[in-house]
Amino acid sequence: MSSVESHQEQLSQSDPSPSPNSCSSFELIDMDASSLYEPVSPHWFYCKIIDSKETWIPFNSEDSQQLEEAYDNGKDCNGRVVPTDGGRYDVHLGERMRYAVYWDEPASEVRRCTWFYKGDKDNKYVPYSESFSQVLELMVHYQPVAGSDEWGSTPTEQGRPRTVKRGVENISVDIHGGEPLQIDHLVFVVHGIGPACDLRFRSIVQCVNDFRSVSLNLLQTHFKKAHENHQIGRVEFLPVNWHSPLHSTGVDVDLQRITLPSINRLRHFTNNTILDVFFYNSPTYCQTIVDTVASEMNRIYKLFLQRNPDFKGGVSIAGHSLGSLILFDILTNQKDSLGDIDSKKDSPSVFMDQGDTPTLEEDLKKLQLSEFFSIFEKEKVDKEALALCTDKDLQEMGIPLGPRRKILNYVQTRRNSVGINRPSPQSAAGMNMSNIPKESEHCGDTNETGNDEYLDVGIGQVSVKYPRLTYKPEIFFAFGSPIGMFLTVRGLKRIDPNYKFPTCKGFFNIYHPFDPVAYRIEPMVVPGVEFEPMLIPHHKGRKRMHLELREGLTRMSMDLKNNLLGSLRMAWKSFTRAPYPALQASETVDETEAEPESSSEKPSDVNTDENPVAVKEDMPPIHVGMLNGGQRIDYVLQEKPIESFNEYLFALQSHLCYWESEDTVLLVLKEIYQTQGIFLDQPLQ
């Protein structure tokens, strides 16, 4: 063993890695003529800093093979770049570094690994450096000890400071297969408030990685036929980060100067997370946010096409929490054509009634201001003249403040929707938005002058310049979205059923039933009808067992209640019936026949609130407008059994559950692939 020890001493002087003589344990086998040497199979790893610790993660099998092939093609690897992780990262072989392509992220070290060690305080094996592994390969052949695993050691290894393994096949590590090369659809994902997106304080990049991983698994299980027939590849999900650019404007320094020193962590959380909501309602920082989101999506889309020139699929967008509101505002301010909007000046607005243009008298009637028509008639003010009137003019006519604000807001809305031809989700009828700030208050314009760049869409948005997207999104997915609440707070009472996004055909509002931030959209389209949202099927089919049990018990109690009420009713009628023997038989027959009709015609005898499922089955189809192409908009997840025990306990978790929710991901995939004529293997119920 003296020759081995001398090699170890030389290695410890030339390589900074730990010396096996000082801190490692080996099983050495003397080589003889009969032993055959088999080269070790290398696998490529990259290093990530997780919780301030280095963690070495293996590349998937296909990426590792591509890296090895590029390595074998020549010793000079300088300038050689290998795309990995579905094209989201590039590995520079000469530098042994891995760089993110679409977003900012610190570069990570890359290694070609053959030998691994684990110390007494380590729970995973760590690869040795490439130079150290080469010397170990020259010195010894390592025989793995049977029974050793990732988390512990066998009794023979106890007390040893370090365990060494040769080859990745001898350590416990998950190595996934590669991703399909074909990309069918691209989805941009915009985060909500704060830098962290889940309870583990992970970034939007990490959360979208989970969302993408879930989608890859579901494509293999729920689109198996299409996958086997090579009809589908995968859907690419790319994160869009706006929090970092916003807080790099210097606003954090300004806030720090005025922040009190007490409860430091809570105040830091408030400044870094909750204040994002207030930033979005500030004209200055709202402009920064919408510019960042739109420009990032345009930049990433352009770069994606450069790296995937054969891509022919569509693009969709998804937003979580405040991110969904940002996308909603951007979509409502897109032009309906990527060309000149003047080509559609003569087309009727979606907010106009079909048929002839309404008169001023009809407009005032819609606004419930018919009593003021005589004043306009006396002053010879028609619709064209009214469009030129200012608040002072209406005041001089003797019109009170409230009606004046209604009329001016209505005129401004018509100017935006007809004159500029940019529809907004506001119906001209039934609006009472007297407190919405006017465009002139932010941009210096008068009420008589419109501005194509700074658009007041009539829903209380901050007056900023909304950027144009370079593509038309096919579907907009909102997760845990407060859109409905913000529209209501802005003064919007109703979304016109005919309204749809100028450039986006689909809109799905997806939420967990206990999510404290989520609000519905459909009641704003159909305010006079109460109906349940669409229940998202469980990804394994059917409803969750506790929901079925709850509905079964509800139906059973309703049946018992109906039977009991029917029996009491029959007994009461027979007790109070007049004693006419000649008519008794016929009355009994008539009452017996009429009884089912009365029970079916008058379901109000039973408390319908206690049986929403039964009511839902008897309700006619709900028409929720064109915001989602005539389809339903609100979709609710099924809570887990443990969540149903205490809604408040799981409220925060419910708002952050979407990233790893198979049900959410499956709904997204189903709707995306339906646009391509590809459906689930078995429809979920």
d(CA 193, CA 521): 21
Pairing of strands 53-58, 81-84: unpaired
Q: Is 603 exposed, middle or buried (0-12, 13-18, 19+ CB in 10 A)?
A: middle
Closest C-alpha among 516, 463, 502 to residue 652? 516
Here the tokens at position 315 are: 């693009």
3-state secondary structure of 462: coil
Task: Calculate helix-pair angle for 130-139, 2-14, nearest 10 degrees.
Answer: 170
Measured distance CA(643)–CA(545) in Å, rounded? 13
**8 A C-beta contact, residue 260 and residue 124:** no
The DSSP letter of residue 547 is H
The answer to whether the CB of 321 falls within 8 A of the CB of 479 is yes
As a three-state string, the secondary structure of 260-307 is: CCCCHHHHHHHHHHHHHHHHHCCHHHHHHHHHHHHHHHHHHHHHHHHH
In degrees and rounded to multiples of 5, residue 318 shows phi and psi of: -140, 145
Task: Work out whether the CA dihedral 365, 370, 372, 375 comes out positive or negative.
Answer: positive
Catalytic residues: 321
CB-CB contact of 505 with 635 (8 Å): no
> Hey, CA dihedral for 59, 63, 67, 68, is it positive or negative?
positive
Q: Give me the amino acid identity at 50.
A: I
Ramachandran class of 167: left when φ > 0, alpha when ψ lies in -120 to 50, beta otherwise: left
CA distances from 418 to 62, 202, 348, 423, 466 (A): 56, 45, 7, 8, 19
How far is the CA of 327 from the CAs of 147, 324, 352, in angstroms? Answer: 54, 5, 26
Phi and psi for 99 in degrees, rounded to 5? -120, 140
d(CA 351, CA 348): 8
Closest C-alpha among 400, 410, 461, 463 to residue 432: 410
- Alpha-carbon span 346 to 581, nearest angstrom: 77
Q: By three-state DSSP, how is residue 506 classified?
A: strand
Quickly list H helices, 333-430.
360-366, 373-378, 383-386, 391-396, 401-414
Closest CA to 367 of 425, 428, 412: 428
| Pair of tokens at residue 285 | 């920082």
Largest CA distance in the chain: 123
Nearest-5° angle of CA 673, CA 677, CA 683? 70
First to last CA, the chain: 69
